Structure 1
């Protein structure tokens, strides 16, 4: 099986696995209004992945990283992010706050990997420039999402607005979420650069 077929194969299986998570999420969510608002961007990203994949096949690593956020976000949509059963992790790090949303924001940053990969393999820019572009793209997306989140929460108001915002009383929630997005991006780009160096070393040998 060639590289393109392997990429499409893993995309198919990841999508099939996501369909199971989606079905689970859709069954008796905490709030259908919040669920719909949260699930729309997830389905939009999933559709975009498939549309782009018709012309460009990402690496298996890129596909896996992209589906981490899709999965976490869809689980969060079911419970609302502040109410996801995540006590084991919160206890592990000694926090009374539900940090599921922080982990989900970290996973958004993982999209920096496929963004940079696309730029590099399409030869649209150098590796260094592609890495910088991907990092800044994620940081811009993170800031933009926080603005949309604030707008929706203000528009919905009441418990639904609070549930969608998921700040859990933290006045610095937006800034911390953007920080987690950025850390996720830096982590995924470090992985990309490490793989690039390993590949270069292998070719030299």
Structure 2
């Protein structure tokens, strides 16, 4: 696998930086913004660090940046207040479902996880695909625990804004379901692309 940086990675990072600047300008809550933006910057750093020795496919890079952009937009407004009426009306929901879409996009990271394992021959596809699914499910559960911990620690309106449950007692469970559905969708895409299983092919 070539070590040269993907031109798409550079372009997507430039796009993300524009979204980051937009998000940083007068967010709804600076404290919530900082708490939300830390994991996004952390993930971006990890993507670049891994890309120093491994070049993901263009599909994998694109899927990873969907969450980065959505999460950074959510950090600006808080997820419950993102202007998303067009989508909510489309599905006939009074609830702001931007957070559900963002959680679905987290699941898309199952694609690059499985791709990395397969192309580096860490595990066979029959093991890599379910491992990626279960890894994303575990990450989803872990994030919900961290989210609960931070909300309880912060308290007040800041904690409520970070939690973003919008009064839904099953919010954590539905968020984890969306993470899982995103992972299943991305892995279905991966197994449908025979070229992914070639160790020397970059799409």
Same fold, judged at TM 0.5 (above) = yes
Shift of 1:196: 2.0
Distance, in Å, in 2 between the alignment partners of 1:147 and 1:40 is: 16
TM alignment of 1:7-18, pairs within 5 A:
8-18=6-16
**DSSP-derived class of the 2:50 partner:** helix
Extract structure 1 runs of 4+ deviating beyond 3 A. 2-5, 197-200
CA, structure 1 residues 199+148, in 2 after alignment: closer, same or farther (shift >3 Å)? closer
Report the counterpart of residue 147 of structure 1 in structure 2.
Answer: 145
Report the counterpart of residue 169 of structure 1 in structure 2.
Answer: 167
| Deviation string, structure 1 residues 142-193 (Cα, Å, up to 9, x no partner) | 0000000000000000000000000000000000000000000000000000
TM-score, structure 1 as length reference:
0.94
Greater helix proportion: 1
Report the counterpart of residue 92 of structure 1 in structure 2.
Answer: 90
Residue 192 (structure 1) aligned with residue 183 (structure 2) = no
Residue 51 (structure 1) aligned with residue 31 (structure 2) = no
Structure with more contact order per residue of length (Cα contacts < 8 Å, sep ≥ 6): 2
Shift of 1:8: 1.5
Contact 2:20 2:72 in 1 (8 A): yes
Distance, in Å, in 2 between the alignment partners of 1:156 and 1:142 is: 21
User: Which of 123, 126, 129 is the equivalent residue of 1:128?
Assistant: 126
**Count of equivalent residues:** 198
TM alignment of 1:40-119, pairs within 5 A:
40-119=38-117
5+ residue gaps in structure 1? 201-205
TM-score, structure 2 as length reference:
0.94
Distance, in Å, in 2 between the alignment partners of 1:67 and 1:124 is: 24
Distance, in Å, in 2 between the alignment partners of 1:45 and 1:196 is: 27
CA, structure 1 residues 94+3, in 2 after alignment: closer, same or farther (shift >3 Å)? farther
